[in-house]
Amino acid sequence: MAIETEPGTTQHPGGGQPAGGAARRPWWMRPAIHTGLIGAVIGYAFGHWLGNLIASGYQQVGTSDQNDTAIVLGYLFMVIGWLAGLGVFNDLFKQMAGRRLAEAENGNGPGGLAQYFRFHLDHKVVGIQYLVGMIIYFCTAGLLAMGIRTELLSPVHHVFSSATYIEIVGEHGTMMMMLMTSVILGPFGNYLIPIMIGSKRVAYPRLEALSFWLTPAAFMILLSALLLGGFHMGWTGYPTLSIQDTSGADAYAFAFGLMGISMTLAGFNILVTVICYRAPGMRWSRLPMFVWGILGTAVMMALAAPVLSGGMYMLLTDRTVQTAFFTDQLGGSTYLWEDVFWFFGHPEVYILALPGFGIVCELLPVFTRKPLFGYKVAAAGMIGVTLLSFFVWQHHLFDSGINPDMRPLYMLTTEMISIPTGFIFLVGMGTLWKAKIRFTVPMLFCFAFFFNFLIGGISGVFNSDAPADVTEHGSFFVMAHFHYTIMGGLIFAFMGGCYYWLPKMMGIKLNEKLGYWHFWLMFLGFNSTFMPLFAVGWLGQPRRVFEYALRLQTLNDWVSISSYVLGFSILLFVINFVWSTVVTRVRETGNPWESRGLEWQIPSPPPAYNFEHVPVVLSGPYEYGSEGSEPVADLNPPVGVLAAAFSGSETARAEA
Amino acid sequence: MAAETQAATPAAKAGGPNHGLRIFLIWIVLALAADLVLWFVLGPHIPPGRLGSAAQGQQFDNNVMIAMSAPVLVLVLVYFTYAIVVWRRRPGDDADGPPLHGHSRIQALWITVTSVMVLSLAAFGTYELIVPYGAGGGEGPSPIWNPPGAELTAAAQQRPWAPGHVLVVQVIGQQWRFTYRYPGLGGFETTELVLPVNTMIQFDVTSIDVIHSFWAYQLGVKADANPGVDNVAYTKTQHLGRVTVRCAELCGLWHGAMFNYGKVVTVPQFQAWASSTSVALADVTKLLPPYSTTYDPTEIAHLGPVLQKLGLTGAGGGYYPPQDPSQP
Amino acid sequence: MAEMTSAGPAGLSRRQEEEAFYHEAALNATWTGTRLMIGILVSAIGCFIFAFFYLRSLNSHNDWYPAGFTGPKQWQGAVIMALIVVSALLQSAGLTQIKAGRRGAWLGAATVALVLGVVGGALQIWQLTVLPFQPGASGFASVFVGTQPVIIALVLGTMIWLEILLVRARGIPEISFVEQPPTFAEAADVQRFQASLSALTLFWNFVALTELVFWVLFYLIH
């Protein structure tokens, strides 16, 4: 449904016409976050009214005293109102009315702080929006995790009621799993991919901006579940529990489904951009590893997230119009949900791993001052993970009774995925060979990534083994495993990326001293939190419980206290972020890391349209240490080079 | 493993210390030590113990994987530590490192070794899954890996049990209790899990409301309890002891409180317990729906009073109103 | 698109050169994006097809399509499917007309295609209100009721796209479809329009195929 706007076909890239009439109106008349909120309120009121009108006579509503139809329609129209208020549909309506679009998409809009509160089409603005958004979402969900650990301080004395506890667990898990999918692709992918491939723009700026503006909606809707009684089925939302649950489950399903759409759009835009907008000379063999990582992520997002949205939609129809997709006695099956959910759910965890691979592969050559060891192996590893990730989902269901005779197959595919994952270690170790390692903060995070992901990966082999998984499934062992891969992998890589790329994105370097403190507290706090949880799980503590065996209290207390240290380290990061970007603002406009990356060859922060001229890429990004190697790109190519490249591609197309 | 050739080739070309050989030597000493300690000292204590045959199989599996992964872990850690210590930039040295783009023999070796390891682990896991009859995991309603004497139909399961035969125990999950039904011993339903020793147990796990997961920790059994599905899991009790049963799938507000304890007793003790319980629960058993591999909650709504008699105040087979959960 | 070379790339200024470069990229993006979007939607729709076959093969409690269950009316399904398929075929035929330089013929065909598509979508909405069964009456009923709104959204969404192209076509002089327009901007306009139109036609045929597949599933094999 998104494609009909066809933004790519209606803009003149590079066209510098002044912004349309919209820019001349006073600020409060122009669409921005405040009009979006007004639209959301109106939309919710309308949708709720409509739902009551339609469904108040339903027997289901009468007996349960809760009208899920009204709530879901309320959310639906709320999102529509929110987007309409932000001005998302303006261009669509203009096109439907046959008017031409203003071409102020890329850096031509009103600058300053205000642009970050608008539906803005510059990929750099969207990247910053994503960055701030993701930090907010991450901290919210992280605070919820503190709540979980606080409750688990004691097996007998309770801080929360069992209902509140499960709500917190569900909110934490869902928020992390749905929003952190974009934690690297959103900020760094959107901001840096076009620059890294030498493009002045992305393929679908409207879809890209839309993908961001759906995330605050999903975030708020998910949080609003607490107002509706919360949801009590964790992030996996297994029916029939999710069908019998309170209206909070509507918020869960709606928010998650919405985020599925956001992921799809974000992945779609990145894919088309990388395929079609690479600068001349940017061959596939010269693509930075970060782009490869994000490319794999985008493929998984584009193909797996629609299935998630489909599943969430089925859950919503089960809860509203009383279909019976997941009700066994009426011809449905809970297995259907488990299959559909995990068909998304497993690519999802690689969506959460690949960008991390990309970042460490990107950073290692810079700080070891060596070329990346085995470029093709690294790229093959990422492609291999991407492909295999679609064929492993039933390892989440080893004990469920679904296709038990297929377990050897899924065990095989799951263990096979550790081969391409192992490539990343080969690449990392090879790159370190006789290197001249510079221990900057980003490099420390890379080292931590390898350490954490090693443990996460090896514990994953235990989980993939069907017999051993019988004990580990559903226990804290699994919980520790995926926190090692996601938090220890993805979030550490994200932090490394922040320290590495913020000078590029904001022209400001984060405080280094605080950075070291942040790193060491986070690294030690993280390992001290999650390492004991392997033991806790092995000793028999299931996930999502608020009461556990007394003998496990020491371990649990250790974990809880460590988790506060971990939380404090994130707080340090936030303080550093705010302190450096708002208060001290130490300018850093050059190339502080002496990187060969194309993104570092232009000023920081990058000017409108990124490049003055479309660059011509001359060599790979990791040619460190070679005497007389060519510069990475010619930023000011002579006239005619571009046309030659372009007509070449055209002839090739005409022949094809 | 991979370090061996890393030892030989790149270092030999350059002068100076043979980094590869050093790393290899450190690695082989540490890896050997780690494996010996892990296998002989930690190994016998690795969960989930040896009460059930499935548990023992899982313990063996875990130990094999620990023994295989420890050298890998040690290799990577030794390598990284070595790199951090030896290959750090010296102050004032701003030069780049050697331009190594790759090394095809090392790459090929790495890929081969990891592939062989992974494939052999998969083969090993498959063997360990099939031979012990599904290794204690839920195998669905018609398991293809089942022990001799397995009873897969409701009619066969109701034939009187005799010592030495497979004992069928039906596990019924409901918010937030497990109850156990013994079809071969008169079909009574109880909240106690009592099992005879040295007997192959067949758990038929099902649910009457939401998805639970029956986790008998010391027996090494975990099987999801799905509404409308009979999920079968096998284990053989190997000695006397206590069994912790927990629900391992989030099933609502009191999921955390959904646990109880079972025990493995001698065969005569078990028979005595079964006959006395059967008598004590005779009037309850009469009220129960006829034994079946699955139950439909809408058909057994009248089960409420039965469950109360059994000392349950849970859902009673119906959907509970989530607004006011009752405390178990 | 071969007209571009006739302008002679070497004679372009830097700015023209870059515009041409990104114009080319945008045309490629339309081509790539449409195919990718179809892949994405196959994934989304595959979710429902999977649900169909999964529940059908499980047939839990014999409630997939129980005896005595009345499905949706055969004629309704046939009419809706026929409307959409005919609309897609008309649009495909119209595409060959406009490629041959006859804008008027395409305008006519596309307008009819638009009407047929909208009517088809509207009929599906109406059909949902007069179904002879409850949404939860059976597994089949669930999949049917759940899937229809998705297809409706697809159909109507594509019709918005078609409407945009119809309006846009009016702004392009007919002669531009016959011979090379004088300026780069005009040529680019036409090319973008044509790329979008080809993409739409492919997409609309995909939607019609979806409609056809679900017609077979819901009305023939259930």
Average pLDDT of chain A is 88
Chain segment C117-165, per-residue pLDDT in tens: 999 999 999 999 999 988 888 899 999 999 999 999 999 999 999 999 9
In chain C, residues with a C-beta closer than 8 Å to the C-beta of A2 are 37
Distance from CA of B265 to the nearest CA of C (A): 38
Q: Stretch B225-237: mean pLDDT, rounded?
A: 92
What does the pLDDT look like over A116-166, one tens digit per residue? Answer: 888 988 999 999 999 999 999 999 999 999 999 999 999 888 899 888 999
Please give the residue of chain C at the shortest CA–CA distance from B296: C61
| B133-180: pLDDT as tens digits | 888 899 988 888 888 888 888 888 889 999 989 999 999 998 888 989
- Compute the count of residue pairs across chains B and C with CB atoms less than 8 Å apart: 3
Picking from C54, C142, C168, the nearest residue to A339 by CB comes out as C54
- The model's pLDDT over A582-637, given as tens digits with 9 standing for 90+, comes to 888 888 888 889 899 999 999 888 888 889 889 999 988 898 888 777 888 888 88
Among A residues 496-525, those touching chain B with beta carbons less than 8 Å apart:
none
pLDDT band at C45 (very low <50, low <70, confident <90, very high): very high
Assign B85 a pLDDT band (cuts: 50, 70, 90): very high
Per the domain annotation, does C4 fall within a domain? Answer: no
The pLDDT tens digits for A522-549 are: 999 999 999 999 999 999 899 998 888 8
Report, in this order, helix, strand and coil percent for chain B, each rounded to 5.
Answer: 45, 20, 35
Collapsing DSSP to helix, strand or coil, C2 comes out as coil
Q: Say what the pLDDT of residue A15 is.
A: 36
Residue C50 maps to a domain? yes
Q: Chains with ≥3 Cβ pairs under 8 A against A?
A: B, C
**pLDDT level of residue A458 (50, 70, 90 thresholds):** very high
Q: How far apart are CA A142 and CA A572, in angstroms?
A: 14
Contact A166 B255 (CB under 8 A): yes
Asked whether the CA dihedral A184, A190, A191, A195 is positive or negative, the reply is: positive
Question: Looking at residue A626, what is its pLDDT?
Answer: 81
Contacting chains of B (3 CB pairs or more, <8 Å) are: A, C
Query: Within the 310-369 window of chain A, which residues sit less than 8 Å (CB to CB) from chain B?
Result: 328-329, 333-335, 368-369
Lowest mean pLDDT across A23-27, A66-70, B299-303: B299-303
pLDDT band for position B304 (50/70/90)? low
Q: Is C155 on the interface with A (CB under 8 A)?
A: no
Let me know: does B235 contact B302? Beta carbons within 8 Å. Answer: no
* Facing B256 at nearest CB: one of A435, A462, A547: A547
A201 vs A247, A570, A612, B241, C14, CA distance in Å? 42, 33, 12, 68, 17
pLDDT for the residue numbered B309: 61
A17 has a pLDDT exceeding 80: no
Other beta carbons within 10 Å of A589: 13
Residue A609 pLDDT = 86
SS3 call for A241: helix
pLDDT at B323: 37
3-state secondary structure of C201: helix
Q: Give the span between the Cα atoms of B109 and B120, in whole angstroms.
A: 16
Least confident of A20-34, A409-423, A424-438, B240-254: A20-34
Share of chain A above pLDDT 90, in %: 64
pLDDT band at C31 (very low <50, low <70, confident <90, very high): very high
Residue A413 has pLDDT above 60, yes or no: yes
Would you state the pLDDT for residue C101? 85
CATH says B154-309 is which class?
Answer: mainly beta
Between chains, do A412 and B144 touch, taking CB under 8 Å as contact?
no
Q: Do A399 and B54 touch (CB under 8 A)?
A: no
Say whether pLDDT at B200 is over 90. yes
- The pLDDT of residue A213 is above 80: yes
pLDDT beyond 80 at A107: no
**Beta partners for B193?**
B262
In this prediction the ipTM stands at 0.92
Over range C84-99, report the average pLDDT: 94
Look at residue B64 and tell me whether its pLDDT is greater than 90: yes
Q: pLDDT category, A648, cuts 50, 70, 90?
A: low
Distance CA A631, CA A443 (A): 24
Q: A519-528, B264-273, B313-322: lowest mean pLDDT where? A: B313-322
Residue B158 main-chain phi, psi, to 5 deg: -90, 0
pLDDT at residue A78 tops 90: yes
Show which of residues 39-58 on chain C sit within 8 Å of chain A, judged by CB atoms. 39-41, 43-44, 46-48, 50-51, 54-55, 58
Q: Which residue of B has its CA nearest to A546?
A: B256
Determine, for residues C10 and A640 on separate chains, whether the beta-carbon distance falls below 8 Å: yes
CATH of residue C88's domain is 1.20.120.80
In this prediction, residue C9 carries a pLDDT of 47
Q: What is the pLDDT of residue B167?
A: 94
Q: What is the pLDDT of residue A518?
A: 95
Nearest residue on chain B to C61, alpha-carbon basis: B228
pLDDT at position B305: 58
B76, B83, B134: residue with CB nearest A425: B76
Residue B317 confidence class, pLDDT cut points 50, 70, 90 = very low
Q: Three-class SS string for A302-341? A: HHHHHHHHHHHHHHHHHHCCCCCCCCHHHCCCHHHHHHHH
Residue B319 has pLDDT above 50, yes or no: no
Write the pLDDT tens digit of every residue in A484-514.
999 999 999 999 999 999 999 988 889 999 9
Residue A313 Cα, gap to closest chain B Cα (Å): 20
pLDDT at B306 over 70: no
Chain A: residue whose CA lies nearest to B83? A432
CB contact under 8 A, C25 and A322: no
Contact C88, C159 (CB under 8 A): no
Domain spans, chain B = 2-85+107-131, 154-309
What would the pLDDT profile of C190-218 be if each residue is shown by its tens digit?
Answer: 899 999 999 999 999 999 999 999 999 99
Q: Could you tell me which residues come within 8 angstroms of residue A196 by beta carbon, excluding any fewer than 6 positions away? A: A288, A290, A291, A597, A598, A599
Find out whether C48 and C143 touch, Cβ atoms under 8 Å: yes
Q: Structurally, how many domains does chain C consist of? A: 1
DSSP line for C88-135: HHHHHHHHHHHHTT-HHHHHHHHHHHHHHHHHHHHHHHHHHHT-SS-T
Contacting partners of chain C (3+ CB pairs under 8 A): A, B
A570 φψ region: left (φ > 0), alpha (ψ -120 to 50), beta (else): alpha
pLDDT of A383 strictly over 90: yes
Q: Which residues in chain B touch residue A374, judged by CB atoms under 8 angstroms apart? A: 101-103, 107
- Amino acid identity, residue A522? M
Residue B27: CB atoms within 10 A of its CB come to 23
Q: Domain containing C52: what range?
A: 9-221
Q: Return the closest-CA partner of residue B4 out of B17, B26, B16, B20.
A: B20
**What Cα–Cα distance (Å) separates residue A61 from each residue in A250, A328, B74, B142, B325?**
14, 21, 60, 39, 20
**In chain C, residues 32-91 whose CB comes closer than 8 Å to chain B:** 60-61
Which chain A residues contact residue C21 at CB under 8 A?
614, 642-643, 645-646
Q: Which residue has the tokens 């119809």?
A: C166
Nearest CB to A400: which of B2, B138, B209? B138
State CA C80 to chain mean position distance: 15
Given this model, what pLDDT does residue A102 score? Answer: 67
Cβ-Cβ contacts under 8 Å between A and C: the total is 236
Q: Where are the domains of chain A?
A: 113-584, 614-655
| Cα distance between residue B48 and residue A471, in whole Å | 7
**pLDDT for the residue numbered B310:** 60
Tell me, which fold does domain A113-584 have in CATH?
Cytochrome C Oxidase; Chain A (1.20.210)
Does position B102 have pLDDT exceeding 50, yes or no? yes
In the predicted model, what is the mean pLDDT of residues A345-350?
91
Strands B241-247 and B231-236, sheet pairing: unpaired
Strand order across the B212-216 sheet = B193-196, B259-265, B241-247, B212-216, B221-225
Partners of residue C26 in chain A, C-beta under 8 Å: 8-9, 11, 13, 203, 276
Choose the weakest-confidence range: A60-69, A448-457, A570-579, B237-246: A60-69
